[in-house]
């Protein structure tokens, strides 16, 4: 399947994963208090540590290893079952430790912790890395989108009052589990009978731990921020931070899908000795992702405060300011998805990737300690921005002798200039209208006309290529 098609299907799936909670947000914020939603976010952040320890680095490692052997059905079968056996063992151990943790150390919200613990079952049967490595996104993406939408409908039907918090959390976890079960339906299409290689399992452990270090480090400024806000501030601040990040992650899903789709292609190139092609491939991907990410960043800055005022309600006004600030991370995270995930991991340079993430995590942890007690969610956002910008900068420095980083950065300056102009225009446009819904619609239309219009006038090569690809796909249909 072509990269463009894979990108479209994966993007649709990733957007569905994030847009379902986004659609439910206005409904939930009018049923549950910020404190209740903060409890959900806080307890989920705790269980996610155990999910992380259970999976180690399997999402990245499994993806890459499958991409290496996908042309050989026998080797593919052996590799998958060996990797999955490893995952089953590690997640089971993590789940057992989680239960001991809840029984011995948790008294408040214990029932919620047990329900959230079902996320470990979801991670135990998660084999999404197989399909990413195979570069086959269509079937799984469509089927899982149906599952997620069904869960969305279920929430609107069954969650009706503030007394339904436990039901809401359980339904959310259940939808995740069903989504993972769906993936197993396609296994017979790709693999032969179960075949586990004990030697391969032993060889898997060390590389998994090599990828686990950056995973646990990145979790410091993802999940630990929520945990630290809950400990040093309040649960309503956890909710404000969590919702601001959900809004930003919606847009990030559009952009980072490029890295997800391209990583197995780069891994396959690397395993087949086509190293000369990789540099050009990554440079073009960097341009594509910058073309999308930069205007999204400035666009969200311009519309977020007005968006939150009507979308979530007055109680959550603080989310608008947090989302506007958090939009800054869209650019560094997008670049890291290309340089870090697509290039460094795909070409087996995990040590460099690990260094960038560990440094970022340490910075994030230190800044969180000082700022969260004073600023709450705002302190966590500042920490997040510093961490993400530091990580992507380190990665660019580390690959400067392998990729033409200077040329790549110079070529995206145009996107920054046009996006800043767009921001300057849409901010006053949003203040013209009293109705914030209409204001946001006009802002988005005005911003799109400015950005795409300038790119068309200047005959931007990336935009021209994307349009030609889309036209070609439509004609073939």
Looking at residue 226, its pLDDT comes to 83
Please indicate whether residue 197 or residue 30 has the higher confidence score (pLDDT): 30
Work out the average pLDDT over 326-350.
86
| Collapsed DSSP state (helix, strand, coil) of residue 363 | helix
Most confident of 92-106, 118-132, 330-344: 92-106
Work out the average pLDDT over 9-15.
67
Mean pLDDT value across the chain? 84
Looking at residue 114, its pLDDT comes to 95
Cβ within 8 Å of residue 263, ≥6 positions away: 63, 64, 67, 132, 341, 342, 345, 346
> Of 177-186, 213-222, 257-266, where does mean pLDDT reach its minimum?
257-266
Is residue 257 pLDDT above 80, yes or no? no
Looking at residue 446, its pLDDT comes to 95
What's the gap between Cα 134 and its chain centre?
20
DSSP string over 416-436: HHHHHHHHHHHHHHHHH-SSH
Give domain limits for the chain.
1-212, 221-477
Nearest by Cα to 314 from 29, 23, 21, 24: 29
Most confident of 211-215, 269-273, 400-404: 400-404
Question: Which run of H or of E encompasses 204?
Answer: helix 198-220
Looking at residue 423, its pLDDT comes to 95
Helices 275-311 and 436-457 cross at an angle (nearest 10°) of 150
Is residue 307 pLDDT above 90, yes or no? no
Looking at residue 314, its pLDDT comes to 75
d(CA 45, CA 390) in angstroms, rounded, equals: 23
For 432-472, the pLDDT digits (tens) are 888 888 999 999 999 999 999 999 999 989 888 888 877 87
Looking at residue 47, its pLDDT comes to 93
For 125-177, the pLDDT digits (tens) are 999 888 878 877 676 677 777 777 888 888 899 998 989 999 999 998 998 89
Put simply, whether the predicted model's pTM sits higher than 0.75 gets the answer no
30: its two tokens: 């009018």
Is residue 415 pLDDT above 90, yes or no? yes
């Amino acid at each position: 399947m072509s990269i463009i098609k894979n990108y479209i299907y994966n993007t649709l799936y990733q957007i569905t994963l994030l847009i379902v909670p986004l659609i439910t947000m206005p409904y939930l914020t009018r049923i549950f208090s910020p404190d209740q939603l903060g409890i959900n976010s806080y307890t989920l952040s705790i269980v996610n540590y155990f999910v992380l320890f259970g999976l180690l680095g399997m999402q990245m490692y499994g993806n890459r290893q499958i991409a290496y052997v996908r042309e050989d059905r026998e080797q593919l079968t052996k590799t998958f079952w060996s990797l999955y056996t490893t995952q089953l063992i590690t997640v089971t151990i993590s789940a057992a430790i989680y239960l001991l943790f809840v029984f011995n150390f948790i008294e408040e919200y214990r029932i919620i912790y047990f329900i959230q613990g079902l996320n470990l079952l979801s991670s135990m049967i998660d084999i999404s890395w197989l399909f990413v490595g195979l570069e086959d996104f269509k079937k799984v993406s469509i089927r899982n989108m149906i599952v997620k939408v069904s869960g969305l409908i279920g929430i609107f039907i069954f969650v009706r009052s503030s007394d339904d918090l436990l039901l809401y959390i359980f339904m959310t976890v259940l939808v995740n589990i069903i989504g993972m079960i769906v993936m197993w339906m396609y296994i017979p299409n790709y693999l032969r009978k179960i075949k586990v290689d004990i030697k391969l399992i032993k060889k898997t452990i060390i590389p998994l731990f090599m990828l686990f270090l950056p995973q646990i480090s990145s979790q410091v400024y993802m999940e630990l921020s929520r945990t630290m806000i809950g400990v040093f501030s309040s649960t309503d601040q956890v909710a404000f931070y969590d919702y601001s990040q959900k809004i930003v992650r919606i847009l990030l899903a559009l952009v980072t899908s490029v890295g997800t789709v391209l990583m197995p292609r780069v891994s396959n190139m690397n395993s087949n000795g086509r190293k000369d092609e990789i540099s050009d491939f990554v440079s073009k991907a960097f341009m594509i992702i910058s073309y999308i990410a930069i205007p999204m960043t400035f666009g969200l800055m311009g519309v977020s405060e007005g968006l939150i005022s009507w979308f979530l309600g007055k109680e959550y006004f603080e989310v608008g300011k947090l989302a506007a600030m958090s939009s800054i991370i869209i650019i560094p995270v997008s670049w890291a998805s290309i340089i870090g995930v697509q290039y460094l991991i795909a070409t087996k340079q995990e040590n460099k990737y690990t260094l960038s993430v560990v440094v970022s995590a340490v910075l994030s942890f230190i800044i969180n300690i000082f700022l969260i007690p004073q600023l709450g969610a705002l302190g966590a956002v500042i920490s997040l921005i510093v961490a993400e910008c530091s990580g992507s900068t380190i990665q660019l420095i580390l690959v400067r002798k392998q990729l033409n980083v200077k040329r790549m950065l110079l070529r995206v300056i145009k996107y920054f200039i046009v996006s800043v102009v767009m921001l300057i225009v849409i901010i006053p446009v949003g203040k013209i209208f009293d109705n914030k819904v209409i204001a946001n619609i006009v802002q988005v239309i005005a911003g799109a006309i400015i950005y795409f219009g300038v790119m068309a006038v200047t005959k931007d090569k990336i935009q021209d290529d994307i349009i030609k690809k889309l036209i070609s796909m439509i004609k073939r249909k």
